[in-house]
A and B are shown apart, each in its own frame.
Chain A
């Protein structure tokens, strides 16, 4: 890069800029009295810090350098205790964080004003800035100690944000579930690092990357499985996803956007770091590690989208979609590991590209959707889809941007979701090159799950968009809803625009990903930036190239539209056909109202029936009659239907139940009498003496 900005020396400057801006955003509001403008004081610096983060990461990616830090500001903590390093992998994730936090911080300036007078805006600003700062620092950490410190800061800051609206009991409960699950994960991550440490003898990640002696396969396998459980619980992989649909919706929507958009990606960073950097999976014996990820990913995506499809809480449905998308990302990463283990470099690059492209896409459209949900919720005061409706007319901008997010996440052309799903499909189709029949057949099973996920995601977004924005308002609140302030629209529009750009011009993302991960972009695309993404196919005599060029598809769609307009005008011979508005056809009933239209629950009823094995719907009907003798004339009917969460009922409840029972028994030891405590000490002492006598 010829640009003056992109020289390696600037990277450390930008890094310090990030830290200073975010610390300023955290501390500045604390220095002033709380007003409605406090949001500017905390989120203004956050936006600036995000720009710095973008500059930092682009600097590293485009120059291909590695930033190792020893700056004067960081000197007191640098060196002995903390080692910081930003390489291509880390820079890509910092880029992803920056690209989401910038629009989210702009959005937050408007969004968080609604909390003025109800909750502390200063606390919100402080926590959010610390949260973002720690997320950016995790990919910069280069030793076990600093990684875990930043990781825990991230978890704790987000925990406090989840319970920000603490007067509602449910948010405290979900916060507790979150903090238990996240510490369960941290324990496994620590164990994974310690396994590696026990072999290399150093806590620095550099020693994990280039161990003095090659790591034995067994150590690699153990470290990988521990890391998969640890990072999987943070990323929300099934069955460790249980906290995600509780915690993400409880937080304020701008924080949900950050948590679902980028925080779970930090866990993907950890997984990619361990798999790609520490454990070099380039021997066929390690193929099963990749296959494990493919299976877990496929199951997560399917389970996530199934629960999303029957959910009628807008934010919970979006949170379940995060489980789905994380599944797709992990599936891609797993395929990449499978290909790598058999030495299929080009395919490994393709699958890795698919996975990372989808991570970036998911960061964008999920934050867009959560911001859109936040706008809807703050103007209707409800998260229940069954109380929304007709919002497209009162909130035109929000509805347009939510639609962009929906099309993107449903994987429809020409937006970004389609490109990464196309790449994932191509990676799945390329599995014929893996020289192992069992893996080939298993991957084709995974691709059925993947395709079913896509179909269900399409259906779910018909529901989420259709029920909330279309048809008649279903409640007074929805009827009186107002469009959000402009600054919130601006924040959403930035992400919406990026979704379009990454869809129509895939080379922007493919080149960035290729240079962050150090593979040749020509493996997956034409030489020309507007050319096709290509995947070669070659097997016994048959040679062909499968390709897709979104810029050309969009140009074709544009010209078709123009031709069609001409055609329609020509058929009318210049006479414009009239449009007349009239009420919807009601079979002559004459009193069709909003109670007769579909609700979120009735819309997904067929899906609930088809997959009733998983959902096990529980329906309760109460009928009230005018008289007990005649059951034909009813005064009222009340129906309630719940689906039971399989994982909560079958896995978590037994475990928590058993733990409580055991702890209840243990509690009997605590009698409150000093005599008995002395007895315990006595017994322990005797036992120790016996132990010493026996062993010596």
Chain B
């Protein structure tokens, strides 16, 4: 690992951290447009974050230290996960330390503390959110793991650098198994980021909210950290979809002297991610929120799809 690689790697991570709110803004804008609203500007999430980080906080007098530290743990583990993700280069300098399973583990850690924080304030809403999230998290896990199983079988291993460069050198959807994995991954994306039909990020109605219910008691800095970590997680998942399934324009190897392919790849990456975010937002606008107990059906579809992918791969 040279200094040059390290700098590029840090640049990748910083770009995820910096662009995460932008993607949230784009998705909101697209949703507003499809609802015949003008919507706020795509930079609005940045203003919100900077406002939240400067505000004083009100915390529940029932809460314990879990409530205080949960936003920190969530943000730290999500940023750590972002370090292992190749963004516009076919490698990440840290990916020998953490593979895709570590990324999942870090997401689960963040989720664990968010569910605990939901319970901590003795609020009836928080517990409701945690209770629903417990069910969702438990069912997402097998869908996600079996999807990774397919990806790992097709592209080789769990090391993210190896996976992304294998995808880059072999091109778009090299095997039928990958198509099934893609279907599953998109369903998981909707579920993991709390989007319709699983959860409505814009709701504050007790019948429907999951994620919002858990963070209802947060304000100020704590809320800002949670929102930022949510959008980072969303961008990480979008990046994985783009780099594993649509690696068009990703250079297969990086030559130290060449800046232009990297710039090209970065521009293409940004375009692809923005496009994918817009498509997901459009898809989201087309569906209604599902009843909580119908959601396992959708996740079963994801599991079944990936399982078909596994069988396709082995046969």
Q: Please list the residues of chain A having a beta carbon within 8 angstroms of any beta carbon in chain B.
A: 309, 390, 392-393, 399, 403, 407, 410-413, 418, 422, 425-426, 428-429, 432, 437, 440-441, 444-445, 447-452, 454-456, 458-459, 461-463, 465-467, 469-472, 532, 535, 537, 539, 542-549, 552-553, 556-557, 560-561, 564, 568, 571-572, 577-586, 592, 594, 596-598, 602-607, 609-610
Q: How far is the CB of B269 from chain A (nearest CB, A)?
A: 22
B58–A580 CB distance below 8 A: yes
A309–B119 alpha-carbon span in the complex (Å):
16
Residues of B87-105 whose CB lies within 8 A of A: 94, 96-99, 101-102, 105
16 contacts between A and B (CB under 8 A): A309-B138, A407-B109, A429-B158, A447-B145, A447-B146, A469-B64, A542-B156, A552-B98, A578-B56, A579-B59, A580-B56, A582-B60, A584-B61, A585-B123, A585-B125, A598-B131
A454–B166 alpha-carbon span in the complex (Å):
29
Which residues from chain A contact B139 at a C-beta distance below 8 Å?
Answer: 452, 455, 610
Closest to B141 in A: A455
B132 at the interface (CB under 8 A from A): yes
A553 touches which of B65, B98, B122, B125 (Cβ 8 Å): B98
B262 at the interface (CB under 8 A from A): no
A429–B217 CB distance below 8 A: no
B109–A412 CB distance below 8 A: yes
Nearest 3 pairs of A and B residues by beta carbon: A455-B141, A598-B127, A451-B145
Which residues from chain B contact A470 at a C-beta distance below 8 Å?
Answer: 64, 66, 116, 119-120, 122
Q: Please list the residues of chain B having a beta carbon within 8 angstroms of any beta carbon in chain A.
A: 50, 53-62, 64-66, 72, 75-77, 79-80, 83, 94, 96-99, 101-102, 105-106, 108-109, 111-112, 115-116, 119-125, 127-128, 130-132, 134-135, 137-142, 144-146, 149, 152-153, 155-159, 162, 166, 216-217, 220-221, 292-293, 296, 303, 307, 310-311, 314-315
Q: How far is the CB of A491 from chain B (nearest CB, A)?
A: 23
B137–A553 CB distance below 8 A: no
Could you list 5 further interchain pairs (A-B, Cβ under 8 angstroms) beyond the known A448-B307, A580-B59, A581-B61? A393-B64, A447-B145, A472-B122, A577-B220, A581-B59
A382–B50 alpha-carbon span in the complex (Å):
47
A642–B124 alpha-carbon span in the complex (Å):
23
B216–A585 CB distance below 8 A: yes
A564–B124 alpha-carbon span in the complex (Å):
32
Q: How far is the CB of B118 from chain A (nearest CB, A)?
A: 8
A413–B122 alpha-carbon span in the complex (Å):
27
Chain B interface mostly: helix
B53 touches which of A390, A537, A568 (Cβ 8 Å): A568
A456–B146 alpha-carbon span in the complex (Å):
16
A463 touches which of B134, B146, B162 (Cβ 8 Å): B134
Q: How far is the CB of A431 from chain B (nearest CB, A)?
A: 9
A547–B96 CB distance below 8 A: yes
A413 touches which of B109, B121, B137, B141 (Cβ 8 Å): B109
A425–B134 CB distance below 8 A: no
B122–A471 CB distance below 8 A: yes
A584–B121 CB distance below 8 A: yes
A459–B220 alpha-carbon span in the complex (Å):
28
Which residues from chain A contact B60 at a C-beta distance below 8 Å?
Answer: 581-585
Which residues from chain B contact A594 at a C-beta distance below 8 Å?
Answer: 122
Which residues from chain A contact B221 at a C-beta distance below 8 Å?
Answer: 568, 577
- The answer to whether A582 and B59 touch (CB under 8 A), given A455-B139, A597-B124, A597-B127, is yes
A459–B153 CB distance below 8 A: no
B123–A584 CB distance below 8 A: yes
A459–B152 CB distance below 8 A: no
Which residues from chain A contact B120 at a C-beta distance below 8 Å?
Answer: 466, 470-471
A407 touches which of B102, B112, B121, B153 (Cβ 8 Å): B112
Q: How far is the CB of B184 from chain A (nearest CB, A)?
A: 12
A561–B158 alpha-carbon span in the complex (Å):
26
A585–B139 alpha-carbon span in the complex (Å):
30
B106–A413 CB distance below 8 A: yes
B102–A548 CB distance below 8 A: yes
Closest to B160 in A: A546
B157–A603 CB distance below 8 A: no
Which residues from chain B contact A471 at a C-beta distance below 8 Å?
Answer: 62, 119-122, 127
- The answer to whether A459 and B76 touch (CB under 8 A), given A437-B315, A581-B61, is no
Closest to B315 in A: A437
- The answer to whether A466 and B119 touch (CB under 8 A), given A447-B149, A571-B54, is yes
B157–A535 CB distance below 8 A: yes
- The answer to whether A444 and B146 touch (CB under 8 A), given A411-B105, A606-B292, is yes
A544 touches which of B62, B159, B314 (Cβ 8 Å): B159
Q: How far is the CB of B54 from chain A (nearest CB, A)?
A: 6
B57–A577 CB distance below 8 A: yes
Q: How far is the CB of B63 from chain A (nearest CB, A)?
A: 8
Which residues from chain A contact B216 at a C-beta distance below 8 Å?
Answer: 585
- The answer to whether A532 and B102 touch (CB under 8 A), given A470-B120, A577-B54, A581-B59, is no
A422–B106 alpha-carbon span in the complex (Å):
12
B149–A545 CB distance below 8 A: no
B109–A582 CB distance below 8 A: no
Q: How far is the CB of A400 from chain B (nearest CB, A)?
A: 9
- The answer to whether A571 and B119 touch (CB under 8 A), given A462-B130, A583-B60, is no
Closest to A602 in B: B131
B97–A553 CB distance below 8 A: yes
Q: How far is the CB of A452 from chain B (nearest CB, A)?
A: 4
B127–A444 CB distance below 8 A: no
Which residues from chain B contact A413 at a C-beta distance below 8 Å?
Answer: 77, 102, 105-106, 109
Which residues from chain B contact A393 at a C-beta distance below 8 Å?
Answer: 64
B97 touches which of A451, A542, A549, A580 (Cβ 8 Å): A549
A452–B96 CB distance below 8 A: no
Which residues from chain A contact B314 at a C-beta distance below 8 Å?
Answer: 432, 437, 440-441, 444
Which residues from chain B contact A577 at a C-beta distance below 8 Å?
Answer: 54-57, 220-221
A418–B220 alpha-carbon span in the complex (Å):
33
- The answer to whether A422 and B311 touch (CB under 8 A), given A471-B121, A603-B134, is no
Closest to B145 in A: A451
A456–B137 alpha-carbon span in the complex (Å):
8
A564–B115 CB distance below 8 A: no
A399–B311 alpha-carbon span in the complex (Å):
45
Which residues from chain B contact A549 at a C-beta distance below 8 Å?
Answer: 96-98
Q: How far is the CB of A473 from chain B (nearest CB, A)?
A: 10
Q: How far is the CB of A549 from chain B (nearest CB, A)?
A: 4
B105–A604 CB distance below 8 A: no
A604–B159 CB distance below 8 A: no
Closest to A463 in B: B134
A451–B109 CB distance below 8 A: no
B217–A585 CB distance below 8 A: yes
A623–B202 alpha-carbon span in the complex (Å):
38
B124–A610 CB distance below 8 A: no
A580–B131 alpha-carbon span in the complex (Å):
27
Which residues from chain B contact A452 at a C-beta distance below 8 Å?
Answer: 138-139, 141-142
Q: How far is the CB of A479 from chain B (nearest CB, A)?
A: 13
B138–A456 CB distance below 8 A: yes
A607 touches which of B72, B77, B109, B134 (Cβ 8 Å): B134
A463–B135 alpha-carbon span in the complex (Å):
11
- The answer to whether A412 and B112 touch (CB under 8 A), given A451-B141, A556-B83, A606-B293, is yes
B293–A609 CB distance below 8 A: yes
B105–A418 CB distance below 8 A: yes
Which residues from chain B contact A537 at a C-beta distance below 8 Å?
Answer: 152, 156-157, 162
Q: How far is the CB of B133 from chain A (nearest CB, A)?
A: 8
Q: How far is the CB of B17 from chain A (nearest CB, A)?
A: 10
B97–A458 CB distance below 8 A: no
A560–B296 CB distance below 8 A: no
A392–B64 CB distance below 8 A: yes
Which residues from chain A contact B121 at a C-beta distance below 8 Å?
Answer: 471, 584
Q: How far is the CB of A350 from chain B (nearest CB, A)?
A: 13
